[in-house]
Amino acid sequence: MSAGCAFSSRECEAELNLTEPVEERKVRSKTLKMVVTGEVNVGKSLLVDNIVSKKYRRPLPTYFPTLHVDFRIRKWDVDGETYALQIWDIPANEKTESVADGWFRGTDFMVFVYNVCERATFERLVHHLERYERMVPAKAQTVWILVGTHRDRVLITPECEQVSETEAQNLAETLHALNLRISLIDEFNFDWHKKIQQQIAALFLSQFGIGLPG
């Protein structure tokens, strides 16, 4: 299931019936929320595709950037109950910044994505962090994940690296975040997928007391 919300958080909430209080909605629907954000063309949408499909998916030959907001959902049936993970693919740009508060409200997973070969995508992410931290107050159950994409390019051409692993790890430690450096075009390091799935499963266990099927 996929739905695009192009203009405002109010329109998205009306479309998805998200107007009731966040915590009440989560208890009733057994739903957790993930926000994936970063600059255009860093690999957010392909990352989301792999999380939803539960397996490696190759990128399309033609690239279509996510200019507004995309919404995906993944569901599990456990003991007759349905549990869901909402995934919001939100580009960090001026259009989304003006209405971002509604999309970030009630977030359980914050996933920040940048390209290790384009330093500007990392620096802009750092620039936005203060705003993200204000919209997603620190709480014990919020999982923060920092994802550097295009690891494959660095392995083939080391000189293209513009964000070192040490620098990314230092930022991740400041955020108390899981730090991942991944490739989205090759299956050779798909272990990152398992690490994200483990974080998802742990939070569902903590929040709802259930173990998710594989």
Task: Measure CA of the first residue to CA of the last residue in the chain; give whole Å.
Answer: 19
- The pLDDT tens digits along the chain (214 residues) read 344 443 333 344 444 444 444 544 444 568 999 999 888 888 888 888 888 876 655 554 444 555 567 888 999 999 888 999 999 888 776 555 655 566 777 889 999 999 999 999 999 888 777 777 776 665 557 899 999 988 888 878 889 999 999 999 999 998 889 999 988 776 556 678 788 889 999 999 988 988 887 6
Residue 45 has a pLDDT of 83
Task: Give the pLDDT of residue 190.
Answer: 63
Q: Can you give the pLDDT at residue 175?
A: 85
- Beta-carbon contacts of 76 under 8 Å, excluding residues fewer than 6 positions away, are 82, 83, 84, 212, 213
In this prediction the pTM is 0.78
Tracing tokens 């936005």 back to the chain, one arrives at 128
Backbone φ and ψ of 210, nearest 5°: -125, 150
> In Å, what is the CA distance from 31 to each residue of 28, 65, 76, 86, 119?
8, 27, 10, 7, 35
pLDDT, residue 189, reads: 61
Domain ranges of the chain: 2-208
CA distances from 47 to 56, 89, 165, 192 (A): 10, 10, 19, 10
CATH 3.30.1360.20 given to domain 2-208: no
DSSP string of 140-183? Answer: TT-EEEEEEE-HHHHHH-GGG--S-HHHHHHHHHHHT-EEEE--
| Tokens 């009731």 found at | 20
Question: What token pair was written down for 209?
Answer: 């007391």
